[in-house]
Amino acid sequence: MLLTSLMLPALSRVAVCGGTHGNELSGVYLVHERLKRRKKSQVMEPVAVVTVMSNPRAVQRCVRYTETDLNRCFTHAILSASEQTSYELVRSQELNSLLGPKGSAEAMDLICDLHNTTANMGLCLITYSDSDWICLHICKYLQARAQHPRTDAMEIGPQPHGLIRANIFMAMQEAVQLLLDWVRLFNSGAQFEGGSVDVYTLVKNIDYPRDPHTHTIIAAVHPDLQDRDFCLLHPGDPMFLSFSGETLRYKGKEPLYPFFINESAYYEKAVALSLARRRKVEIPAIRACLHTVRTKT
Amino acid sequence: MSSRVNASYFPQAERVAIFGGTHGNEMSGVTLVNMWIKNRAEIERSGVAVRAFITNPRAVEKCSRYIDTDLNRAFTPENLSTASGDGLPYEVQRAKEVNQIFGPKGSPDAYDVIFDLHNTTSNMGSTLILESSTDYFNLQMVHYIKKAIAPESCMVLLNEHPHLKYATTRSVAKHPVGLEVGPQPQGVLRSNIFESMRAIMKHALDFIELFNSGVEFPACSVEVFRVHERVDYPRDTNGNITAMVHPHLQDCDWEPLNPGDPMFQTFDGRTIPYEGASPVYPTFINEAAYYEKQQACITTRRETLAANAIRKISK
C-alpha cells in the first residue's frame, strides 16, 4: 500500500485570504476574526498560516472593487509591469511579493481564497488543474466531512453581497478548519487513499437575452432554473423568462450542469450562468515526502 | 352596506407616479420602470395619468444604492428648501428636482399617489409601506391589493414612529406608498420577485381606476405592523460587529420574537437572546444596506387599523 503512494513535498507555507472582493463578507469576517485571535493569544498553529485581507480598501467601502476586479489582476503582464497606479493593480503586485512571486520556488504552497456568491452553489471548491492532487484530495476530504459539501478558492452561497449570514459563515469557518486539518495531517506523514472525485469543468458562459439595439437585458433567469445550480440542464429546458412572458429554452445539444446562476457581480461580465461538464477524476494515493520540507525563507 | 355618515371623500386621483431606481441596485423597480417608460400600455388606466420615472439615474447607471447620500432619506424640509449649487450632494440636488416635478411636497399641486419600488435582501415577501394610520385612501388601497393577490400574501408595514420615520422620495405625494419585495440580493433580478412586484402594481392601478370611476369602497379593517424599535448589531468599541443575526431569526421576518429567543450569534458560536420585555414582530432582518445605518432589524407591533368607507368627490 505504502509503496504505491505518490510522494509529494509537504506544505510548509499556506495562506488564507479573504476580502479579495470587499463585499463578500464571510471571508472578510473570517480573516478579521483570525487576525484578532492571532493578536490576542499568539496561537501557534501546527502549520504556518499567513492570513491576509486581500483588498482592504474595497473591504472598507464594502464594494467588490474600487477600480478593477482584483481577482482578475494576477496575469503575468500586470504583475511584471512597472509603475502601476490603479489601486488593485498595485495591490496585486504587493500580494505577489507577499505570497509569491507567482511561479517561483518561494511562492506559497497553498492559497485558500474565500468568496461568496449570490448563486445557490452551496460550498464549492474551485481549483485550476485536474491533476493538482493536493487540491483534489482536500476536496475529497471536505466532501466526506463538511456539513455542506458540493464537491483554494472556496465559494459559499447563496449570500447577497454586503451582508453576513450566520449559517454561511459557520460553513466557511468549518471548511477552512477542515482544510487546515488536512494540511496538518498531510504534513505529519499520513497517507491519503486514492479514489475518485466528481469535478465540474467550465464549457461555456451564457449571457442574458438582450435587446439587439439597446443591449438592455430583456429576460430574467427562468424560475425553473433559478437556484438550481449543479442540477443537470437538458436541451429544451427553460432558461429565461422574458418580460413579455415568453420562455426561452436551452438550445445546446449536450446536457450540462449550470452554476453561477444569477451571480450579481457577473451582470457586468455579461454572464447569466455558466455551464459545465461533470466527470470523475481518479486521484492517486498521496503522502508527504518529509525529507523535502522546505524551510521558511 | 356603506355608511354615508362615516365615508371619507377624496378628489379623483388624476396624477400617479411609479418610481424605480430610488436605490440604483434594487433591480425589480429599475427594470419595471424602464420597461414602462418604453411601453406604457401595461400601466395605462382611464381617468388617470400614470408616469413611470427613474428617480436616481446616476445610481442606476453605477448599480449602486446611491452616489453621495441615500435619496430615500433626502426629502427633508431643509434639503428641499436649500439653494441649488455645485457643492450640493447629488441626491440633495436630485431631491429638489423630483420635488419640483412631482410636488411641491405638502402643496395642492403635488401628485396624488406615488408608488416607490424597492427590493430588500430581507425575507419580507411583498410588503406595502405606509406613513400614516389615518390615510383612508391608502388603507383602502392596501386592503384591495391584499384581497386581490390572495392566497399570496402581502404585509403592511406602518412607519409613523416619531424618530424612526424618514423623509422618503414618495413623501412628495399626497398619498405615498412604498412597495418592498424580497429577498433579492442587490444588483440581481429574480424572475419571481419581479413578477410579484408587477402583479401588485397592476392591482394598485386597478384600484385607482375603480375609485376614479366612482366606486365606493366600504369601511374595512387592515392588519398592519407598526414600527416599534431599531435594533443594531452587537459591536465592539471600534464599531465592528461582533455577532451575526442568529440562524433561528434569519429569514423569519413577520414571525413573533419572544423575550429570550435567540437573536444574534457571535463569531465563536455563542447565542445572544432578545432582551425586550414583550413579543415583537421583527422585519428588515439582515438588510445589507442597513449595516451602515446601525440596523440589524426593525421590531414591530401588530395592530388592526380601521378605515372609513371612501368615495370620490363628485364634481
- Please give the distance of CA A30 from its chain centroid, rounded to a whole number: 15
Residues of chain A with C-beta less than 8 angstroms from the C-beta of B186? 160-162, 264
The residue whose grid cell reads 460587529 is B241
Contacts of A62 in chain B (CB under 8 A): 291-292
Q: Which helix (H) or strand (E) holds B210?
A: helix B191-212
Closest Cβ–Cβ partner in B35, B185, B246 for A264: B185
pTM of the model: 0.94
Q: Is the pLDDT assigned to residue A149 strictly greater than 70?
A: no
Contact A217 B31 (CB under 8 A): yes
CB contact B191 to A (< 8 Å): yes
Distance separating alpha carbons of residues B21 and B8, to the nearest angstrom = 33
> What chain A residue is nearest to B64 in terms of C-alpha separation?
A63
B191 vs A32: CB contact, 8 Å cut-off? Answer: no
Q: Which of A62, A166, A223 sits opposite B265 (nearest CB)?
A: A166
Query: For residue B48, what is the enclosing H or E element?
Result: none
Cβ-defined contact of B269 to A170 (cutoff 8 Å): yes
Are A147 and A254 contained in the same domain? no
**Residue B204 identity:** A
pLDDT tens figures, A125-145: 999 888 899 999 999 999 888
Q: Does B247 reach chain A within 8 Å, measured CB to CB?
A: yes
DSSP labels, chain A:
-GGGSEEEE----EEEEE-SSTT-HHHHHHHHHHHHHHHHH----SS-EEEEES-HHHHHHTSS-SSS-GGG--SHHHHH-S---SHHHHHHHHHHHHH--TTSTTS-SEEEEEEE-SS--EEEEE-S-TT-HHHHHHHHHHHHH-SS----EEEEE---TT---HHHHHHHHHHHHHHHHHHHHHHTT-EE--EEEEEEEEEEEEPPPB-TTT--B-EEE-TTTTT-TTS-B-TT-EEEEETTS-EEE---SS-BEEESTT-GGGTTTT-SEEEEEEEEEEE--EEEEGGGPPPP-
pLDDT digits (tens, 9 = 90+) for A226-276: 999 999 999 999 999 999 999 999 999 999 999 999 999 999 999 999 999
| pLDDT of amino acid B263 | 98
Q: How far is A190 from chain B (nearest CA, A)?
A: 30
In a domain, A294, yes or no: no
Question: Are the beta carbons of B247 and A166 separated by less than 8 Å?
Answer: yes
pLDDT in tens, B98-133: 999 999 999 999 999 999 999 999 999 999 999 999
User: pLDDT, tens digit, for every residue of A7-52?
Assistant: 999 999 999 999 999 999 999 999 999 999 887 765 556 678 999 9
Rg of the Cα trace of chain B? 20
Q: What separation in angstroms does the CA of A31 have from each of A19, A59, B128, B270?
A: 8, 11, 39, 19
At residue B97, the 3 state secondary structure works out as: helix
A115 known member of a binding site: yes
Kindly report the CATH number assigned to the domain that includes residue A19: 3.40.630.10
Closest Cβ–Cβ partner in A163, A216, A223 for B286: A163
| 3-state SS class at B104 | coil
- How large is the greatest C-alpha to C-alpha distance in chain A, in angstroms? 66
Active site residue A254: no
Strand order in the sheet with A6-9: A6-9, A286-289, A191-192
Q: Is there a single domain that holds both residue A167 and residue A262? A: no
On whether both A61 and A151 belong to a single domain, the answer is yes
Report residue A4's pLDDT band, with 50, 70 and 90 as the boundaries: confident
A136 within some domain = yes
- A212 in any annotated domain: yes
Cβ A260 vs Cβ A266: under 8 Å: yes
Quote the DSSP letter at residue B152: S
The neighbour count for residue B270, using CB atoms within 10 Å, is: 10
- Minimum distance, in Å, between the CA of residue B104 and any CA atom of chain A: 33
For chains A and B, CB pairs below 8 A equal 79
Averaged pLDDT score across all residues of chain A: 91
Q: Judge contact between A227 and A221, C-beta under 8 A.
A: no
Do A154 and A23 sit in the same domain of this protein? yes
pLDDT at residue A39, as a whole number: 74
- Residue A295, domain member (yes or no): no
Contacts of A32 in chain B (CB under 8 A): 240
Q: What mean pLDDT comes out for the span A179-190?
A: 95
The annotated binding site of B for substrate is made up of: 72-73, 166-170
Binding site as annotated, residues of B for N-acetyl-L-aspartate = 65, 180, 290
A215 and A181 housed in the same domain: no
Place of cell 518561494: A106
Same domain, A24 and A160: yes
Any bridge partners for residue B226, and if so which? Answer: B158, B301
Cell of A36: 484578532
Give the best residue of A66, A147, A164, A227 to mutate against chain B (max B CB count within 10 A): A164
Question: How many Å lie between the alpha carbon of A116 and the closest alpha carbon of chain B?
Answer: 12
Are both A160 and A214 inside the same structural domain? no
Instruction: Specify the pLDDT at position B69.
Output: 98
CATH code of A231's domain: 2.20.25.160
Task: Flag residues of chain B having pLDDT under 70.
Answer: 1-5
Average pLDDT score over residue span A81-95: 93
pLDDT tops 50 at residue A1: no
Task: Give the phi and the psi of residue A174 in degrees, each rounded to 5.
Answer: -65, -45
In chain A, the residue whose alpha carbon lies closest to the alpha carbon of B243 is: A166
Q: Which residues of B are catalytic?
A: 180
Cα(A95)–Cα(A92) distance, integer angstroms: 5
Question: One of A155, A254, A268, A282 is an active-site residue; which one?
Answer: A155
Report the alpha-carbon distance of residue B98 to residue B81 in Å, rounded: 13
DSSP secondary structure code for residue B200 in this structure: H
- Residue A296 covered by a domain: no
Domains identified in chain A, total number: 2
| Residues placed in the known binding site of B for Zn(2+) | 23, 26, 118
Residue A131 belongs to what domain range? Answer: 6-197+282-289
Q: What is the pLDDT of residue A3?
A: 55
Nearest to A160 among B194, B250, B288 (CB): B288
Q: Are residues A216 and A188 in the same domain?
A: no
- Domains of chain B and any CATH numbers: 11-224+306-312 (3.40.630.10), 231-295 (2.20.25.160)
Q: Do A125 and A72 belong together in one domain?
A: yes
User: Residues of chain A whose C-beta is under 8 A from some C-beta in B?
Assistant: 29, 32-33, 62, 118, 158, 160-167, 169-170, 216-217, 220-223, 226, 241, 243, 262, 264-265, 267-268
CB contact under 8 A, B244 and A165: yes
Q: What is the mean pLDDT of residues A144-172?
A: 78
Looking at the structure, tell me whether residues A157 and A94 fall in a common domain.
Answer: yes
What's the ipTM?
0.93
Task: Please give the C-alpha separations between residue B206 and each of A33, B42, B44, B146, B212, in angstroms, as whole numbers.
Answer: 53, 11, 10, 13, 10
Q: Is residue A215 part of a domain?
A: yes
Going edge to edge, which strands form the sheet with B49-54? B49-54, B15-20, B113-119, B175-182, B125-130, B154-158, B220-231, B297-307, B281-283
Percentage of chain A beyond pLDDT 70 is 91
User: What's the farthest any 2 CA atoms get from each other in chain B?
Assistant: 67
Task: Establish if A177 belongs to a structural domain.
Answer: yes
| Rounded-to-5 percentages of helix, strand, coil across chain B | 30, 30, 45
Q: Work out the minimum CA distance from A62 to partner chain B, whole angstroms.
A: 10
> Is A245 part of a structural domain of the chain?
yes
- Contact call for A222 and B191, based on CB within 8 A: yes
Based on the fold, state whether residues A131 and A157 are members of the same structural domain.
Answer: yes
Interface membership of B123 toward A (CB under 8 Å):
no
Distance between B245 CA and the closest CA of chain A, angstroms:
6
Distance from CA of B41 to the nearest CA of A (A): 12
Q: Are residues A35 and A122 in the same domain?
A: yes
